[in-house]
Structure 1
Amino acid sequence: MSWKDTAEPVLTRMPAVRRPEGHVPFRRKLGWTAGVLVLYFFLTNVSLFGLGTSTDAFGRFRSILAGSQGSLMHVGIGPIVTASIVLQLLGGADLLGLDTQNNPRDQVLYQGLQKLLVVIMTALTALPMVYAGFLRPAPAVAQSLGVSPSTLQFLIFVQVFIGGILILFMDEIVSKWGVGSGIGLFIIAGVSQRMVGGLLGFNELLGRGNDGIIATWVRVIFGERELSGSLLTPAGIQDVLLGPGGQFQVGLLAVFTTFAIFGIVVYAESVRVEIPLSNTRVKGARGRYPVKLIYASVLPMILVRAVQMNIQFIGRILNDQWAGMPAWLGVYGEQGQAQEGLFYFLSPIQSPTDWMWFAGFGGGNEVWEILLRVGVDLTVMIVGGAVFAIFWVKTTDMGPEATAKQIHGSGMQIPGFRQNTRSIERVLEQYIPQVTVIGGALVGFLAVMANMLGTIGGVTGTGLLLTVSITYKLYEEIAEEQLMEMHPMMRKMFG
């Protein structure tokens, strides 16, 4: 008996959102998408009951996790991403033995296995957060309820776990009934919220931290805030570029980097090789299959960052729980960030203050240590971006073989070639593998560069790349949905 037979009764009974039986009208899709988005924003503002003090275990990775510190959405999409990494690695090594392209039973098992892993990862993520001291119960609340702090601690764990399950089903609702994917929608929402706050926020008036770009420079212009020197001095120029007092989110460099990344990603999304197609059923009907430069999209970057995030998460747990942790493994500061040791070199560059030693930043580390950390981050992101892009293409049926079957099954063919799957696959093999590697490496490089130069709102380069790319794809999908609504014959032609 194989593992499939053993696990099938459990995997096929995992709770799931029912698929629509027919075509979902475009307006209804927009309604479901907007409804889930409103629910997401509501849940990010529901604080965990009984929570006292808390420390953000994810730190600067928060912007790409689509979660909110201390709320029901505390874990965000982290468990979903971690489960995807595990499945991609197992699938890439062909250890699962599942044929998700041709076998309907294996497709159901794969989806059930993915959901089961997300549930397990949600529990494994919530447990150390609550019981390792990152989310501490409030003694006053426990006393008022007449329960022990450990009971309140368990209640906080249950809330975090339920929040992780809710975001799983919200993602499934958007994927089946809405436009795009829930993960992409939540990332756009979280990053956009931080960017708007970083641009327009008057936070100091409300006692919520530093002001945004407009508020900061309005204060400078009216003399309420002074620069380190005049604009003609090195100190003044540094303040203009990196922000007064080293607040890189409000500097001119952050503004330039943000708009440059927008332009580069939109341009890269439009760069493509278009393979001509003709329809064997409808005479004169022609089309093109685009192989984009960023063929695997920017989503594999989430997987790379998730690996780094989990490594740093383990480091923080070890630092909090292991009093005698050796210095070569990691030395942590008051902010909970690694300052020396292995975990320091494995931590990604998140802002200009992490590496610009010549501007007085760098955390007091030696130049060679900073350069080594930058080199490790670049290597991990470029190589990891290419590797995970390959895994992504294989597991999402975007490879040459799966794509050739889809094209052939829709009644299309490449003019001048035989009408079979193998002919189409040979043509696609000339483009897809190479473009996948180049696109994945390019996105990894852009993510590191954006982090090193800074972005509006400090959303990190990966968060900015994801937002631009997902928004662009969402625009394309909305345009396609509208086209299908206007021309039902096209919907029948392309299935």
Structure 2
Amino acid sequence: MSSGFKVLHLMRPFQPFLPNVEEPIRKIGLNDKLIWTFIGLLIYLICCQIPLYGVYITDGADPLYMLRMMLASNKGSLMELGIQPMITSGMILQLLAGAKIIHVDQKVDEDKELFQTATKVFGILFTFGEATAYVLSGVYGTMGQLGYINALLIVVQLTVAGLVVMLLDELLQKGYGLTSGTSVFIACNIAESILWRAFSPITVNAGSDTEFEGAIIAFFHFLIAKSDKFDGIYKSFFRQNAPNLLNLIATAAVILIVVYFQGFQVKLTVSSARQRGYDFPYPIKLFYTSNMPIILQSALISNLFFFSQLLYTNFKGNFLVRLLGTWQDVDMSGRSVPVYGLVYILTPPQSILDFLFSPIKTIVYIAFVMVTCAIFSKTWIEVSGSGSWDVAKQLKDEGLTIKGYKMDPSGRNIKRYLDHYIPIAASFGGLCIGALSVFADMLGAIGSGTGILLAVTIIYGMFEQFSKARGQGRGGKILGIL
């Protein structure tokens, strides 16, 4: 039990009323983890296909159009808001904890439980707030068209769906799945988008011709249908109205680069203070905080885009609103893009030509992404229990030490040694993640650079968890420590 009053103690009255997933009472086997992960994903996919009841229009403004893949959301369905409220609440609480405004010790069970309660409370509040903003802004129709009962039903549906997402994420995070629900939903959404844009059989109008949306299907269609084969191959690689083969090649190249960077690591030698000759490597990866920096950065950007478009829709004449972002419709589906203001500067470049025509905007965007990813990564290790002091304490509790260093009861000598690696890996890894994201955007990769980066790191992490679980199943205790 922690002593003294903390801000987190304000969450105690909410604990009895919030649904909670209990820790597993026994060790969950690999097959069971796969089953639970599949069940969680299946529930999410079903929710993505259930339309909202009471909606009057389905082609209204879409504030999250540019970020739906990264937010695991689906327009017009129960998953309209996706994971945005949940990661927003998590981001704010993590930053408050990092700034020491909220004091939380992840080693203390009560603090850990209260922090999870706070995340749920803020997540529900954000979900309710964003759902209300959607309804009041006319995304589903005006209040006169919807009526107060339908408007209330839409808000309730989105709020309950947001709570379901939180519980699924908690279920998988507490050891029932291979990774968090957030990660599974994001990876599924992005992988589905890439496959659809490669093999979509839907036709699109391109002037006098009809083309297939999927890049690969369009390639074979051009070869068969066009008399000028060279023109068909050229269109397959460079068409602008739909995904092309160059986009697919860029996507594959980015995936390979990210996988290559996953192997960058420094291996420290850890030895047992109790048993001589018991040495093994302790890897500190370049992507020490995995995909968390880009997830938190996406949450920040998505909220800026969300509130900017909603404000502009209702208060176009306000100078401050226009300074935040001026939006312009690009087609009849409700898709809008920022053309001026802060959110325009934070719009990722779509190709290298964007850098040539708007170098200052591109440089500002690159600097913003890299710096914010580095800051989020550095902050994350301090609040997630993966900083130098946390790792040193974990090694000490396991009776382990860095080879060549004597066991210090306080663990300070190990912490000082780890300070040369962990904070640098977190900050520099965050910079690299931001740079890779921008690089993928400029190449024109399908699914955006951030989306691909998220998908690859998530799938790679799941593969590592799968391998680790198999190793533990065979009695590999070292893998469990790592």
**Is the CA contact (8 Å cut-off) linking 2:8 and 2:118 kept in structure 1?**
no
Q: Secondary structure at the match of 2:203?
A: helix
User: Aligned-pair distance for 1:217?
Assistant: 1.0
Aligned: 1:134 with 2:151? no
Partner of 2:163: 165
Match of 1:42 among 46, 56, 65: 46
Partner of 2:33: 29
Partner of 1:467: 455
Partner of 2:244: 250
**Is the CA contact (8 Å cut-off) linking 1:72 and 1:163 kept in structure 2?**
yes
Q: Secondary structure at the match of 1:478?
A: helix
- Taking the aligned partners of 2:6 and 2:419, their CA distance within structure 1 comes to 34
Aligned: 1:59 with 2:65? yes
Flag the 1:217–1:426 CA change in 2: closer, same or farther, 3 A. Answer: same
Amino acid at match of 1:245: Q
Match of 2:326 among 331, 338, 348: 331
**Is the CA contact (8 Å cut-off) linking 2:197 and 2:213 kept in structure 1?**
yes
Flag the 1:11–1:377 CA change in 2: closer, same or farther, 3 A. Answer: farther
Amino acid at match of 2:270: L
Aligned: 1:388 with 2:376? yes
Match of 1:223 among 214, 219, 225: 225
User: Aligned-pair distance for 1:46?
Assistant: 0.8
User: Aligned-pair distance for 1:74?
Assistant: 1.0
User: Aligned-pair distance for 1:274?
Assistant: 0.5
Amino acid at match of 2:221: R
Aligned: 1:439 with 2:429? yes
Matches within 5 A, 1:267-282: 267-282=260-275
**Is the CA contact (8 Å cut-off) linking 2:8 and 2:102 kept in structure 1?**
no
User: Aligned-pair distance for 1:461?
Assistant: 0.7
Alpha-carbon deviations, 1:199-237, whole Å to 9, x = none? 11111189x99611111112221235989x958xxxx86
Alpha-carbon deviations, 1:160-188, whole Å to 9, x = none? 11111111111111112111111111111
Aligned length: 463
Alpha-carbon deviations, 1:312-350, whole Å to 9, x = none? 21211121111413355543212322212343223333x
- Taking the aligned partners of 2:477 and 2:231, their CA distance within structure 1 comes to 66
Which runs of 5 or more residues in structure 2 are unaligned?
A: 331-335
- Taking the aligned partners of 2:227 and 2:96, their CA distance within structure 1 comes to 55
User: Aligned-pair distance for 1:354?
Assistant: 8.3
Aligned: 1:115 with 2:116? no
Q: Secondary structure at the match of 2:420?
A: coil
Partner of 1:296: 289
Partner of 1:340: 340
Amino acid at match of 1:221: L
User: Aligned-pair distance for 1:8?
Assistant: 2.0
Flag the 1:261–1:2 CA change in 2: closer, same or farther, 3 A. Answer: closer
TM-score, normalised via structure 2 length: 0.89
Aligned: 1:85 with 2:91? yes
- Taking the aligned partners of 1:393 and 1:341, their CA distance within structure 2 comes to 33
**Is the CA contact (8 Å cut-off) linking 1:78 and 1:306 kept in structure 2?**
yes
- Taking the aligned partners of 2:72 and 2:311, their CA distance within structure 1 comes to 25
- Taking the aligned partners of 2:186 and 2:325, their CA distance within structure 1 comes to 31
Match of 2:151 among 149, 153, 163: 153
Amino acid at match of 1:418: K
User: Aligned-pair distance for 1:68?
Assistant: 0.9
User: Aligned-pair distance for 1:450?
Assistant: 0.8
User: Aligned-pair distance for 1:283?
Assistant: 4.4
- Taking the aligned partners of 2:380 and 2:212, their CA distance within structure 1 comes to 38
User: Aligned-pair distance for 1:16?
Assistant: 0.8
Q: Secondary structure at the match of 2:27?
A: coil
**Is the CA contact (8 Å cut-off) linking 1:348 and 1:373 kept in structure 2?**
no
**Is the CA contact (8 Å cut-off) linking 1:174 and 1:180 kept in structure 2?**
yes
Q: Secondary structure at the match of 2:197?
A: helix
Q: Secondary structure at the match of 2:270?
A: strand
**Is the CA contact (8 Å cut-off) linking 1:98 and 1:106 kept in structure 2?**
yes
Flag the 1:489–1:125 CA change in 2: closer, same or farther, 3 A. Answer: same
Q: Secondary structure at the match of 2:468?
A: helix
User: Aligned-pair distance for 1:282?
Assistant: 4.4
**Is the CA contact (8 Å cut-off) linking 1:246 and 1:353 kept in structure 2?**
no
**Is the CA contact (8 Å cut-off) linking 2:267 and 2:281 kept in structure 1?**
yes
Partner of 1:145: none
Aligned: 1:212 with 2:214? yes
- Taking the aligned partners of 1:354 and 1:84, their CA distance within structure 2 comes to 36
Aligned: 1:72 with 2:74? no
Flag the 1:209–1:122 CA change in 2: closer, same or farther, 3 A. Answer: farther
- Taking the aligned partners of 1:489 and 1:269, their CA distance within structure 2 comes to 23
Determine what percentage of the aligned residue pairs are the same residue. Answer: 27
Q: Secondary structure at the match of 1:291?
A: strand
- Taking the aligned partners of 1:305 and 1:107, their CA distance within structure 2 comes to 25
Matches within 5 A, 1:194-209: 194-204=193-203
Amino acid at match of 1:158: V
Amino acid at match of 1:462: T
Flag the 1:494–1:301 CA change in 2: closer, same or farther, 3 A. Answer: closer
Aligned: 1:265 with 2:258? yes
Q: Secondary structure at the match of 1:355?
A: helix
User: Aligned-pair distance for 1:118?
Assistant: 0.9
Q: Secondary structure at the match of 1:288?
A: strand
User: Aligned-pair distance for 1:81?
Assistant: 1.0
Q: Secondary structure at the match of 2:20?
A: coil
Aligned: 1:318 with 2:311? yes
**Is the CA contact (8 Å cut-off) linking 1:220 and 1:226 kept in structure 2?**
no
C-alpha RMSD of the superposition:
2.8
TM-score, normalised via structure 1 length: 0.87
Flag the 1:205–1:462 CA change in 2: closer, same or farther, 3 A. Answer: closer
**Is the CA contact (8 Å cut-off) linking 1:312 and 1:347 kept in structure 2?**
no
Partner of 1:16: 20
Aligned: 1:399 with 2:376? no
- Taking the aligned partners of 1:225 and 1:62, their CA distance within structure 2 comes to 39
Amino acid at match of 2:184: L
